[in-house]
Amino acid sequence: MKKYFLIIFILLWAGNARAQDTYYSIYSYDNFIPSLIINNNPVVLQKNLYPEFYIHNSVTADMRWVRENDSSITAFINEKGDTVLHILCELSGFYWEETELKINLMRYFPTFGNSDPLIIALGGTRQRGYSKAAPSGNSMKLVIIYELAQRMLTQRVSSDYQSEWDIIHHPLMRHSSYRRDNLAMLLALSTSYSILGIDSTQDAFESAWWEQHFPGKEILERNIINQWILSPTQTLAYWLEIEPYNSRLVAITRPPKKEEPPINYNRAFIEGVPLKGQFGFSVNIDNNGYLVVDSIDIYRLGYACGLKTGDLIRTVNGARVRNHKVLIEKIFETFEQGGATLQIFRNDQIVPLIIQPIMMPGFNEDMYEEEYFSPIDSLNEAVDSNFIDPEDE
């Protein structure tokens, strides 16, 4: 009887609330979720990201600033964090493997999105001596939900216990601004509708901050968000399962082609990183002694993990690598224990990237027969079923 009256009370409350706030009843909350741990004093992590900056600045003062400004974020995570994790699980169709999930609150981080360990930069991004402010209010809350959605997809792809191979290794699950990032945002928005409400979520996503920091936004809005409606019965895994590898969506989200730099025959190649080896990329040394990805095989592990031609490798597992021997040693040091974390400098941004052991499809599969062009430009070229691949012309 008590249970009956509780249900009636919830329904009456939902009916009197605004429509955008009444989605909790569709979820079961039966799945395992990790424990959320907030670390608002990651001194070593913050200092290691900016060693030169903190020679003349106080990392202790910045951590104190974090603790003085984290109350709203901490309250949101404590109040809604478990609910977010449950909804992400039910809408994705995937399960959480981690038993605990630490969220590091820091003042600065070099870039936005998909960091490991998971980092929320309250002060914004800082690069080359200047910083950009972090979002506030619901836009920041959407950042947290998006980061957790990214974590859900990334831990599923990198799992040692991968089932449903066709879903996990679908081309749309590849690490890309137009592919996995968009799937994570779809998952985050669908979750946020229940947490923040539809109107508040939409206002947050339409803010100037998200316009500037989410390059796949147009692809998402025009091709995914109104077509892939997520629910506990039609999950992200469900939509991936029915999306063909050679679909129009896969075609228009191909990575844009990167112009190859002119060949410099005097450059210093590092022998021993074979283009056709397991990782599939070669490197050279730039004028500052950093390793730069010289060329990459799109059929092999390095590309599948997100590495691109022209990437400057700053560190591997937090350590500077100056030669081939150290590069390989550092990658293999943690390769079988979840992957090697690389800090990459790309397009004037520092990007965290993980080289991890994942199962690669056969090289003759249709998903790899791709010509690369700009996804945004291709929106005007790809017309539903009449899309013609340049390779077939």
Residues 238 and 296 in one domain: no
Instruction: With respect to residue 260, please indicate whether it lies within any of the assigned structural domains.
Output: no
Instruction: Please tell me the distance from the alpha carbon of residue 62 to that of residue 106, in angstroms, as a whole number.
Output: 8
Considering only CA atoms, which of 216, 205, 231 is closest in space to residue 90?
231
Which pLDDT does position 277 carry in this prediction?
Answer: 56
**Last-in-domain residue among 251, 276, 303:** 251
- Residue 342's domain is classified under what CATH number? 2.30.42.60
**Last-in-domain residue among 221, 251, 281:** 251
Domain that holds residue 220: 24-251
Which pLDDT does position 270 carry in this prediction?
Answer: 40
Instruction: Please tell me the distance from the alpha carbon of residue 193 to that of residue 184, in angstroms, as a whole number.
Output: 14
- Give the residue-averaged pLDDT of 367-393: 42
Each residue's pLDDT tens digit, 327-351? 878 888 887 776 788 888 888 778 8
E strand or H helix at 261: none
Which pLDDT does position 14 carry in this prediction?
Answer: 41
Window from 121-130, 159-168, 211-220 with minimum mean pLDDT: 159-168
Instruction: With respect to residue 167, please indicate whether it lies within any of the assigned structural domains.
Output: yes
Residues 100 and 126 in one domain: yes
- Asked if pLDDT for residue 138 goes beyond 90, the answer is yes
Place of tokens 């995914």: 224
Considering only CA atoms, which of 351, 360, 369 is closest in space to residue 307?
351
Instruction: Please tell me the distance from the alpha carbon of residue 375 to that of residue 253, in angstroms, as a whole number.
Output: 5
Residues 296 and 234 in one domain: no
Residues 163 and 70 in one domain: yes
Number of domains in the chain: 2
Residues 210 and 338 in one domain: no
Listed in sequence order, the residues at least 6 apart from 178 whose beta carbon sits closer than 8 Å to its beta carbon are: 215, 216, 219, 253, 254, 255, 375
The two tokens of residue 110 are: 């070099």
Residues 29 and 141 in one domain: yes
Residues 164 and 71 in one domain: yes
Q: Are 350 and 233 in contact (CB under 8 A)?
A: no
CA distances in angstroms from 41 to 32, 62, 82, listed in the order given: 28, 9, 22
Listed in sequence order, the residues at least 6 apart from 75 whose beta carbon sits closer than 8 Å to its beta carbon are: none
Amino acid at 192: S
Helix (H, G, I), strand (E, B) or coil at 87: helix
For residue 128, report the phi and psi dihedrals to the nearest 5 degrees: 50, 40
Model confidence band, residue 125 (pLDDT cutoffs 50, 70, 90): confident
- Give the residue-averaged pLDDT of 360-375: 42
Instruction: Please tell me the distance from the alpha carbon of residue 191 to that of residue 128, in angstroms, as a whole number.
Output: 35
Each residue's pLDDT tens digit, 77-121? 999 999 999 999 999 999 898 899 999 999 998 877 767 788 999
Residues 119 and 64 in one domain: yes
Residues 280 and 243 in one domain: no
Most confident of 140-144, 292-296, 361-365: 140-144
Tell me how crowded residue 145 is: count the other CB atoms within 10 A of its CB: 27
If one compares 166 and 88, the residue with the highest pLDDT of the two is 88
288 half-sphere exposure, CB direction, 13 A CA radius: 6
The two tokens of residue 40 are: 């608002």
Model confidence band, residue 167 (pLDDT cutoffs 50, 70, 90): confident
Q: Are 354 and 340 in contact (CB under 8 A)?
A: yes
- Asked if pLDDT for residue 34 goes beyond 60, the answer is yes
Residues 315 and 208 in one domain: no
Instruction: Please tell me the distance from the alpha carbon of residue 191 to that of residue 198, in angstroms, as a whole number.
Output: 10
Residues 87 and 207 in one domain: yes
Instruction: With respect to residue 34, please indicate whether it lies within any of the assigned structural domains.
Output: yes
Listed in sequence order, the residues at least 6 apart from 266 whose beta carbon sits closer than 8 Å to its beta carbon are: none
Instruction: Please tell me the distance from the alpha carbon of residue 229 to that of residue 361, in angstroms, as a whole number.
Output: 28
Instruction: With respect to residue 10, please indicate whether it lies within any of the assigned structural domains.
Output: no
Most confident of 13-27, 201-215, 259-273: 201-215
Each residue's pLDDT tens digit, 45-77? 888 888 888 989 999 999 999 999 999 999 999
Instruction: With respect to residue 1, please indicate whether it lies within any of the assigned structural domains.
Output: no
Instruction: With respect to residue 307, please indicate whether it lies within any of the assigned structural domains.
Output: yes
Instruction: With respect to residue 371, please indicate whether it lies within any of the assigned structural domains.
Output: no
Query: CA torsion angle for 135, 138, 139, 143 (degrees, to 10)?
Result: 100
Residues 91 and 126 in one domain: yes
Instruction: With respect to residue 195, please indicate whether it lies within any of the assigned structural domains.
Output: yes
